Amino acid sequence: MQIIQTLPPASQISLYVLLALIGLFSLLVFGWQIMILQGKAMQNPDGTSDDYHEQKTHFGIAFADVFLACPASFTAIALVFISPRWGMYLLSMIAFWFVWANLMTTATSLKFENPKLTLKWIIVFPTGIFIGLATILWTVVNFDIIYFL
């Protein structure tokens, strides 16, 4: 906890906001992917559907999110408060996952589906990119305090 206390107040507040956003987004992804694992076809706001009966890769993605990415996100959030340095290490990996996975789905949606850019589409597709990039930027700005103090 000493690492968090040595951060400037603005960095502490932004860290808590980022942790809340990561937690909420991970809960959203977890719930969505659980339904896919249960065999439900989920409609996306760009007109596609996530149905592993039609596209087998959706089962693998859902499995990875439910059993790896989301638990790692929740673990990182907990570790930030229990063992901050380990939490920050894991949080950096989670940020990369958010950027990569959501960039992949956003680019696919834009290239192949020509979606209407509604608020729902923005929440479903590129929000994870913004959260991941904000976390990476926060880590770069506070790098010395996090890893060398």
Whether the per-residue pLDDT at 58 is higher than 90: the answer is: no
With both helix axes pointing from N to C terminus, report the angle between 9-37 and 70-82 in degrees, rounded to the nearest 10: 150
Q: Whole-angstrom Cα distance, residue 7 to residue 15?
A: 10
pTM over 0.85: yes
Inter-residue contact 14 to 135 (CB < 8 Å)? no
Whether the per-residue pLDDT at 1 is higher than 70: the answer is: no
Whether the per-residue pLDDT at 53 is higher than 90: the answer is: no
Whether the per-residue pLDDT at 123 is higher than 70: the answer is: yes
The predicted pLDDT at position 16 comes to 97
Inter-residue contact 109 to 48 (CB < 8 Å)? yes
Closest alpha carbon to 132 in 82, 73, 84? 73
Inter-residue contact 139 to 146 (CB < 8 Å)? yes
Q: What is the pLDDT of residues 27-42, one digit of tens each?
A: 999 999 999 999 998 8
Report the Cα 130 to chain-centroid distance in Å.
9
Q: What is the pLDDT of residues 63-91, one digit of tens each?
A: 999 999 999 999 999 999 999 999 999 99
Please indicate whether residue 37 or residue 55 has the higher confidence score (pLDDT). 37
Residue ranges of alpha helices (H) inside the chain are 2-6, 9-37, 57-64, 70-82, 84-113, 119-124, 127-141, 143-148
Tell me the mean pLDDT in the region 49-58: 81
55 band by pLDDT with thresholds 50, 70 and 90: confident
